């Protein structure tokens, strides 16, 4: 008997550059083109120019022998009478310079469009697996790969501002010390600055102008972005830290009319929503992805699966996620994108977080995403800032936010559909600036201070910006404790800006998207260690206390517990009194069906400028675990009648079960 060994070739419908035993198959979906050439670049030589074959309508393919990982390539097409070099939308690495000189031209595309063949099979994961932490046990820390370590004096210079800097010994020790169990990275896929930024010699520092979705940004690597990012994720997992990627599928760097031709505008113009001949702009960036288009849906799903299977990421935060639910001018939570993810054996198991809006019609969709999604809860941000700033009539709404915003996120769908509770995000003031500036100061952005959000709900407490006045400094510290405690001890998943762990200020800039400089880079020399240590202690206590109450209030168990609202003096709160409240207490006691039956948590809030007597029911052994009035971290007994300080947030547990 003669045995024949077959060579397994990738399907021509698997897009991108697919290595196989004898070479590489390049496949591109370009239904708008009548002729496509593959260019293979060799250092110091003219490119090898190979005609591609249209395998089926729109699918172009070419097999090339002896191609190995690292080979640079791009595509060539004739568009509007000009020869353009275009990037592979499915490329998993890019090598071209991620900037150009506006206006973008065919001659500049020669370098920019270069991609690289990648071999994912060669990386050694060393048997390290993901922590797979439940969403209610997660505290998300949002950070920028470069900004986190660019100025850290104890990170090796070769690693500063890079993927490997995330897992330097210094940073791993910092995560452990500060109870950090999940990093949410601002976009790390390759991106391009917008033309107006390039004209000003600026860049899109945040990374929200995507170029090639599957390719990690090479600027954060010394040699190989692919291997160095994988190494960072592997080592974070080894230390029980999850990684969530902020992804941008609402638009691309091709922008609107007149924007650069990078790929889709020439390959498949139907990728974008159109209004006649014009591109719709529901993102503020010139174009909007049309998720109803089969190729767009396939590209997004394939990209997500790649990040999970090849990089082992633990979840995604979707920028302007309402765009993914668009049916033109309306939002549909049952559209093909959401259904595809819900049934996918890979994507249905990772964390999915929506920024639940865009700027188009029907764009604000908080609480309307499918039940397997968490959502960024801007309502608690606004209410928390307003409450502690002293705005009247806020406490009633804050009480709703404290209890998990169940007017928006039904506890029947917890813990899968939880609010992501935050008081600061990358877009906006840092927490230090929320208590230091009454107005934005975005002059460095070059837009005459017109950019950025105008409704910051901030206060400076007497001086705009930094001060040496000890009284103002102490008020600011207390207000920071109040706002952070409000997020940590509300029901939901806390989201914390890494800059806020250090007490970093952006000098009043609330839209530092183009500030790739010390405005955005964390200043480790000025870290407020007292604040950081207090915050780490509160995070640890939140992790020990809050998840059990979320579990008890989730699903069918949610009605089996006791929740009691009182005035500070112990009297019950009547319906007509809520709108004028400035202080209250809330007690949650776990019901008989819960494993921790009988355990109670008490939260007392005083948003006024006057202290109150706090009277509690007898026969309890309350212990203080958080008191923002003092900043003390010692667990201490609570007297049966104690003063509830002005502008303070108090958390107690009944017993010694912490």
pLDDT tens-digit readout, 225-268: 999 999 999 999 999 999 999 999 999 999 999 999 999 999 99
Give the pLDDT of residue 598: 86
What is the distance between the alpha carbons of residues 476 and 542, in angstroms, rounded to a whole number?
22
Residues 140 and 101 in one domain: no
Q: Is 257 contained in some domain?
A: yes
Structural domain of 578: 561-654
Would you please indicate which residues are annotated as catalytic (active-site) residues?
Answer: 319, 355
162-196 exposure pattern, b = at least 16 Cβ within 10 A, e = fewer? bbbbbbbebbbebbeebbbbbbbbbbbbbbbbbbe
Phi, psi of 501 (to 5 degrees): -65, -35
Phi, psi of 215 (to 5 degrees): -105, 120
What is the distance between the alpha carbons of residues 546 and 226, in angstroms, rounded to a whole number?
37
Residues 159 and 308 in one domain: yes
The pair of structure tokens assigned to 464 is: 């705009």
Helix (H) or strand (E) holding 419: strand 419-422
Residues 109 and 142 in one domain: no
The pair of structure tokens assigned to 298 is: 């396939």
What is the distance between the alpha carbons of residues 39 and 473, in angstroms, rounded to a whole number?
61
Residues 220 and 348 in one domain: yes
Residues 567 and 544 in one domain: no
What is the distance between the alpha carbons of residues 191 and 210, in angstroms, rounded to a whole number?
4
Q: Is 349 contained in some domain?
A: yes
Helix axes of 378-389 and 395-402: crossing angle, nearest 10 degrees:
140
Give the CA angle between residues 122, 126, 132 to the nearest 5°. 110
Pairing relationship of beta strands 23-29 and 59-65 according to DSSP bridges: antiparallel
Token look-up 């074959």 returns 53
Residues 87 and 64 in one domain: yes
Split into its structural domains, the chain has a count of 3
Give the pLDDT of residue 2: 42
Highest averaged pLDDT of the listed ranges 349-363, 555-569, 607-621:
349-363
Residues 538 and 602 in one domain: no
What is the distance between the alpha carbons of residues 552 and 426, in angstroms, rounded to a whole number?
32
Residues 214 and 330 in one domain: yes
- CA nearest neighbour of 623 among 657, 646, 596: 657
What is the distance between the alpha carbons of residues 203 and 206, in angstroms, rounded to a whole number?
9
Residues 96 and 173 in one domain: no
What is the distance between the alpha carbons of residues 99 and 113, in angstroms, rounded to a whole number?
11
- CA nearest neighbour of 381 among 359, 371, 362, 366: 366
Pairing relationship of beta strands 374-377 and 351-354 according to DSSP bridges: parallel
pLDDT at position 556 over 90: no
| Contact between 282 and 258 (Cβ < 8 Å) | no
What is the distance between the alpha carbons of residues 517 and 18, in angstroms, rounded to a whole number?
38
Residue 468 CA, chain-centre distance (Å), reads 34
| Contact between 187 and 203 (Cβ < 8 Å) | no
| Contact between 249 and 307 (Cβ < 8 Å) | no
Dihedral over Cα of 527, 528, 529, 531: its sign:
negative
pLDDT at position 124 over 70: yes
What CATH number does the domain containing 28 carry? 2.60.40.10
Residue 567 CB neighbour total at 10 angstroms: 17
| Contact between 249 and 324 (Cβ < 8 Å) | yes
Residues 566 and 542 in one domain: no
Please tell me what DSSP assigns to residue 366: T
Q: Strands of 59-65's sheet, edge to edge?
A: 16-20, 23-29, 59-65, 53-56
| Contact between 244 and 313 (Cβ < 8 Å) | yes
Task: Give the model confidence (pLDDT) of 81-111 as tens digits.
Answer: 999 999 999 999 999 999 999 999 999 999 9
Q: What is the dihedral of CA 119, 123, 129, 134, to 10 degrees?
A: -40
Q: Note the pTM of the prediction, 2 decimals.
A: 0.96
What CATH number does the domain containing 574 carry? 2.60.40.1180
Q: Is 514 contained in some domain?
A: no
Task: Give the model confidence (pLDDT) of 446-503 as tens digits.
Answer: 999 999 999 999 999 999 999 999 999 999 999 999 999 999 999 999 999 999 999 9
Task: Give the model confidence (pLDDT) of 383-441 as tens digits.
Answer: 999 999 999 999 999 999 999 999 999 999 999 999 999 999 999 999 999 999 999 99
The pair of structure tokens assigned to 552 is: 């008890």
Give the pLDDT of residue 607: 97
Q: Is 452 contained in some domain?
A: no
């Amino acid at each position: 008997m003669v045995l024949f060994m077959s060579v397994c070739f990738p399907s021509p419908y698997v897009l991108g550059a697919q290595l196989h035993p004898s070479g590489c198959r390049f496949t591109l979906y370009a239904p708008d083109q009548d002729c496509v050439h593959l260019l293979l670049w060799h250092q110091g030589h003219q490119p090898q120019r190979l005609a591609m074959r249209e395998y089926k309508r729109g699918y172009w393919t070419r097999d090339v022998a002896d191609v190995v990982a690292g080979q640079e390539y791009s595509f060539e097409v004739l568009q509007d009478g000009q020869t353009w070099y275009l990037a592979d939308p499915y490329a998993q690495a890019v090598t071209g310079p991620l900037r150009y000189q506006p206006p973008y031209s065919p001659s500049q595309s020669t370098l920019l469009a270069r991609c690289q063949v990648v071999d994912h099979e060669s990386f050694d994961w060393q048997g390290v697996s993901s922590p797979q932490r439940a969403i209610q046990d997660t505290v998300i820390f949002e950070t920028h790969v470069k900004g986190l370590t660019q100025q850290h004096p104890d990170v090796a210079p070769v690693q500063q501002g890079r993927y490997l800097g995330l897992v330097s010994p210094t940073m791993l020790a910092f995560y452990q010390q500060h109870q950090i169990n999940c990093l949410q990275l601002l976009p790390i896929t390759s991106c391009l600055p917008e033309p107006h930024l390039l004209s000003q010699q600026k860049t899109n520092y945040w990374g929200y102008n995507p170029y090639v979705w599957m390719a990690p940004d090479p600027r954060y690597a010394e040699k190989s972005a692919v291997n160095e990012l994988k190494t960072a994720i592997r080592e974070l997992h080894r230390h029980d830290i999850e990684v969530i990627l902020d992804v941008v599928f609402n638009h691309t760097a091709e922008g609107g009319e007149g924007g650069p031709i990078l790929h889709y505008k020439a390959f498949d113009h139907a990728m974008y929503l159109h209004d006649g001949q014009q591109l719709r702009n529901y993102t503020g960036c010139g174009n909007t992805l049309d998720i109803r288009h089969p190729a767009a849906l396939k590209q997004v799903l394939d990209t997500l699966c790649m990040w999970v299977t090849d990089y082992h990421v633990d979840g995604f935060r979707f920028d302007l996620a309402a765009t993914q639910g668009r049916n033109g001018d309306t939002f549909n939570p049952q559209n093909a994108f959401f259904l595809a993810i819900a049934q996918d054996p890979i994507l249905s198991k990772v964390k999915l977080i929506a920024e639940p809006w865009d700027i188009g019609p029907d764009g604000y969709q908080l609480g309307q995403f499918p039940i397997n999604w968490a959502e960024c809860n801007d309502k608690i941000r606004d209410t928390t800032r307003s409450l502690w700033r002293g705005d009247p009539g806020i406490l009633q709404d804050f009480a709703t936010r404290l209890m998990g915003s169940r007017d928006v996120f039904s506890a029947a769908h917890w813990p899968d559909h939880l609010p992501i509770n935050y008081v600061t995000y990358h877009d906006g003031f840092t927490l230090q600036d929320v208590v230091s500036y009454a107005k934005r100061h975005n002059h460095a952005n070059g837009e005459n201070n017109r950019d950025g959000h105008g409704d910051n709900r901030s206060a400076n407490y007497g001086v705009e910006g930094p001060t040496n006045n000890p009284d103002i400094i102490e008020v600011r510290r207390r207000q920071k404790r109040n706002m952070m405690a409000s997020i940590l001890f509300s029901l939901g998943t806390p989201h914390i800006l890494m800059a806020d762990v250090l007490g970093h200020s952006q000098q009043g800039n609330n839209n530092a998207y183009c500030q790739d400089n010390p405005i955005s880079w964390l200043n480790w020399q000025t870290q407020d260690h007292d604040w950081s240590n207090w915050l780490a202690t509160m995070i640890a206590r939140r992790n020990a206390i809050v998840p059990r109450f979320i579990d008890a209030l989730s699903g069918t168990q949610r009605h089996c517990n006791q929740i009691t609202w009182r005035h500070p003096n112990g009297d019950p709160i009547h319906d007509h009194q809520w709108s004028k409240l400035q202080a209250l207490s809330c007690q949650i006691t776990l019901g008989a069906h819960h494993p921790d039956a009988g355990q109670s948590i008490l939260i007392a809030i005083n948003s006024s400028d006057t202290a109150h007597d706090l009277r509690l029911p007898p026969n309890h052994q309350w212990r203080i675990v958080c008191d923002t009035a003092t900043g003390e971290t010692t667990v201490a007994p609570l007297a049966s009648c104690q003063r509830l300080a002005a502008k303070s947030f108090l958390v107690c547990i009944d017993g010694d079960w912490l």
